[in-house]
Amino acid sequence: MTQLTILSESERRLFDLPPIFSNEEQRLYFTVTPEVRTTLARIETPAYKVGFLLQLGYFKANARFYQAAQFRRRDVDYVKRLLKTDAVDLSAYVGRIDHNSTASK
């Protein structure tokens, strides 16, 4: 049976990366609603707060999660300004889906 090629190699690499947002899209996808603010208040470290908001925005945009190494620097900087936090080491952020909890660790 022949293998069906849906995306080229370059298209697949692009698909595997977070979206590239305009300024307007950043404001739309990284909005801190009252519900998001409540969740952020329960997250202890700045890296996890930034990581959570980035994952939430990327998921709202295209229903996918990403590794912290894939986060776009421009989005990281935007979310850091939004959350009023400066020094964030995202290498400490390890996002995961826990079947017993909705919190990221």
Paired with 98 in beta bridges are 101
* 3-class SS of residue 89: coil
* Residues 78 and 26: beta-carbon distance below 8 Å: yes
What is the pTM (predicted TM-score) of this model?
Answer: 0.81
Q: Is the pLDDT of residue 100 over 50?
A: no
* Residues 56 and 36: beta-carbon distance below 8 Å: yes
Predicted local confidence at residue 13, as pLDDT: 79
Predicted local confidence at residue 93, as pLDDT: 79
Residue keyed to tokens 């400490």: 92
Residue keyed to tokens 């009023």: 84
